[in-house]
Structure 1
Amino acid sequence: MINVFTLEQGRLSGRALQDDELLADAPEREPVWVDLEAPTPQEKAWVARRFGLVIPDDIVDDDLEESARFYEEDNGELHIRSDFLIDDDETPRNVRVAFILHRRVLFSVHEEDLPVFRLLRLRARRIPALIEDAKDVLLKLYDADAEYSADALEGIYVALEKVSARVLKQEVSDQTASEVLAAVAREEDLNGRIRRNVMDTRRAVSFMMRSRMLNAEQFEEARQILRDIDSLDSHTAFLFDKINFLMDATVGFININQNKIIKIFSVASVALLPPTLIASIYGMNFRAMPELDWSLGYPFALALMAASVAAPFLYFRRKGWLR
């Protein structure tokens, strides 16, 4: 799918091209941003015919070398490949996006619809003079990406507060511990993806500043984006520490529950050792067997075995080891 965005009265206006429009050579107005989501060969052919830009098939592959992620062609064409976060409830992930700044038009290629792109489209339609050229579109995308990462961090704070209430304010059963570990693992994965996302955004914005493609106002905006990203580093570090604490606390409760089970077996084995010894002695083949020579032999043996079981349990109870 191709979305073509133009500037109309200071606002970004976009529409999706239909299949019959791909046969035409040009849209009605010169665009500032052409967004390609999972482009087909026909859509790539339209871009090549209309703008003279050939989009490779492996442009969003994850196995590209690091040196191929940020570079500038001899003709001034700028190539940037960045990862954008999708904070999905089921599977949070980072999606690779390829940007090409070609003849004052920004081309973006990605395989999935991204929340950051939707956020920018909504803002650009409502706020006049937010975007003036293609470089503004790229900067506003990175600005929205940093804000989206901050919102995702706030979501982690809320989720960890709920986990903390379950771990620290009630007795943790094995079922609760397993649910807590699953929730903590998800938040840890999301926190790591956010950290990776802001690191990649920092690199991309720094590359734009070094390439001297920005004017004075855009350069200052890029510096502000970097400051916003730097402010997120302390939050991700704190969340990592909090996640590790909750993980250790949950594992500690699991160990306590296991120790309770082991304690039961330990108490039972110690308590049953004396009657086992008595039964073994009475089962030996003596010349004068008590159960034959003494009429109270069997009752006495049974009473002695019961007393030998009760004595350790009374002692353990007095010590508080049965609680």
Structure 2
Amino acid sequence: MLNAFVLSAGRLMQVPALTPDDLKRPEVLWVDMVDPTDEERELVQRVFRLELPEDEELLDLEESARCYMDDNGLHISSFFLHNDGEESSNVTVSFLLNEGRLLTIRQEELAVIRLFRLRARVQPGFVTTAQDILLAIYDAAVEYDADVLEEIYAKLDEVSRRVLDRTREMTDELMGEALAELAGHEDTNGKVRLDLMDTRRALSFLLRSRTLGSEQENNLREILRDLESLNNHSAFLFEKINFLMDAVMGLINLAQNKIIKIFSIASVVFLPPTLVASIYGMNFAHMPELAETWGYPAALVLMVISGIAPYWFFKRKGWL
């Protein structure tokens, strides 16, 4: 999908009918490509006389390949968080500042881009240049990451109440659910942290490129300060997740220890009766009790007493 945007009365509006002539209009500030077809990719390359990155190039993590300048302009590729409702992922968005125009290409539609388009459409003067668009998209991405981290914290608080609630017994099913939730939150938090680190790298390169005005540089530094605070919050969430993981694993170990304790006590309780039965099961000729009528009942009573005695001893010691 190929879209172009122009400023109209201070608002960023989409060009209704997109032709090669529309793309060449000098007032076009932003050309946005979402999973473009070969024809759309060829059209943009022909109109602007440049090479767009291929899909495999978007996945390159080398800083020299993700942030650089050449004859076509300034190139930046960054991770943006994408949530399809079931799981989160990092989607690479490639930016190109070319002759006062911003070109973007990505494989997925992102909530961050939708949020930026909405703001730029309803707020006059929200953006005025291609550099403003680039900074506003990164600002929206940082805000989106902050919302995701707040959501993770709220969900971790719910898990914490369930795990640490002494009035509620943690069954195997509940502990399994808690572990699955914590693993999911850890994965999402890790993707947010990767997104924040990559965004910081891209913005630092943009600051060093000297392509921004003084006010834009001040805005960029504000975004970098927000990134630093979010990095600290993400690290705190990792610690909280690890603590809850340890707590759940501790509860699982306690439950397992109770089972092992039952088997251990049962083996000790039945050991003396087994010893008595083994003694009277010997095939010796001179065992006086074997010839007596009271021998069999006496052996049974002895076995019962020898089994009750260890149980009574453990109970008195408070081990049961």
Query: TM-score range with shorter-chain normalisation?
Result: over 0.9
Q: Distance in 2 between matches of 1:133 and 1:292?
A: 107
Look up the match of 2:54. 57
C-alpha offsets along residues 156-208 of structure 1, whole Å, 9 cap, x if unaligned? Answer: 11110110011000332222111111111111111111111111111111111
In structure 2, relative to structure 1, the CA distance for the partners of 1:49 and 1:26 (3 Å cut) is farther
With normalisation by structure 1, the TM-score equals 0.93
Look up the match of 1:11. 11
2:235 pairs with one of 234, 237, 262: 237
Residue 59 (structure 2) pairs with residue 79 (structure 1): no
Do the aligned partners of 1:95 and 1:110 also contact (CA within 8 Å) in 2?
Answer: yes
1:43 pairs with one of 26, 40, 45: 40
Look up the match of 1:202. 200
Instruction: Figure out how many residues of one structure are paired with residues of the other and give that number.
Output: 317
C-alpha offsets along residues 4-39 of structure 1, whole Å, 9 cap, x if unaligned? Answer: 11110000112576xxx55x4435843111110001
Q: Distance in 1 between matches of 2:208 and 2:60?
A: 25
Q: Distance in 2 between matches of 1:168 and 1:263?
A: 23
Q: Secondary structure at the match of 2:28?
A: coil
Look up the match of 1:91. 87
Do the aligned partners of 2:273 and 2:307 also contact (CA within 8 Å) in 1?
Answer: yes
Q: Secondary structure at the match of 2:222?
A: helix
Please identify, of 81-90 and 129-138, the stretch whose mean Cα deviation from structure 2 is larger.
81-90
Question: What amino acid is aligned across from residue 285 of structure 2 in structure 1?
Answer: R
2:191 pairs with one of 177, 182, 193: 193
Please identify, of 82-91 and 97-106, the stretch whose mean Cα deviation from structure 2 is larger.
82-91
Do the aligned partners of 1:60 and 1:97 also contact (CA within 8 Å) in 2?
Answer: no
Do the aligned partners of 1:116 and 1:144 also contact (CA within 8 Å) in 2?
Answer: yes
In structure 2, relative to structure 1, the CA distance for the partners of 1:126 and 1:25 (3 Å cut) is closer
Look up the match of 1:154. 150
In structure 2, relative to structure 1, the CA distance for the partners of 1:242 and 1:262 (3 Å cut) is same
Question: What amino acid is aligned across from residue 36 of structure 1 in structure 2?
Answer: M
Q: Distance in 1 between matches of 2:53 and 2:231?
A: 35
In structure 2, relative to structure 1, the CA distance for the partners of 1:243 and 1:221 (3 Å cut) is same
Look up the match of 1:317. 315
Q: Secondary structure at the match of 1:95?
A: strand
Counting only pairs closer than 5 Å after superposition, residues 214-253 of structure 1 correspond to structure 2 as 214-253=212-251
1:317 shift after superposition: 1.8
In structure 2, relative to structure 1, the CA distance for the partners of 1:60 and 1:5 (3 Å cut) is farther
Q: Distance in 1 between matches of 2:45 and 2:63?
A: 26
Residue 191 (structure 2) pairs with residue 163 (structure 1): no
Q: Distance in 2 between matches of 1:55 and 1:69?
A: 13
Residue 286 (structure 2) pairs with residue 288 (structure 1): yes
Q: Distance in 1 between matches of 2:93 and 2:288?
A: 90
Q: Distance in 1 between matches of 2:246 and 2:113?
A: 38
1:290 shift after superposition: 4.7
Please identify, of 242-251 and 289-298, the stretch whose mean Cα deviation from structure 2 is larger.
289-298
With normalisation by structure 2, the TM-score equals 0.94
Look up the match of 1:303. 301
In structure 2, relative to structure 1, the CA distance for the partners of 1:38 and 1:133 (3 Å cut) is same
Question: What amino acid is aligned across from residue 265 of structure 1 in structure 2?
Answer: F
Q: Secondary structure at the match of 1:78?
A: strand
Question: What amino acid is aligned across from residue 4 of structure 1 in structure 2?
Answer: A
1:62 shift after superposition: 1.4
Do the aligned partners of 2:78 and 2:93 also contact (CA within 8 Å) in 1?
Answer: yes
Alignment root-mean-square deviation, CA: 1.7
Q: Distance in 1 between matches of 2:40 and 2:64?
A: 28
Percent sequence identity is 53
Look up the match of 1:267. 265
1:64 shift after superposition: 5.0
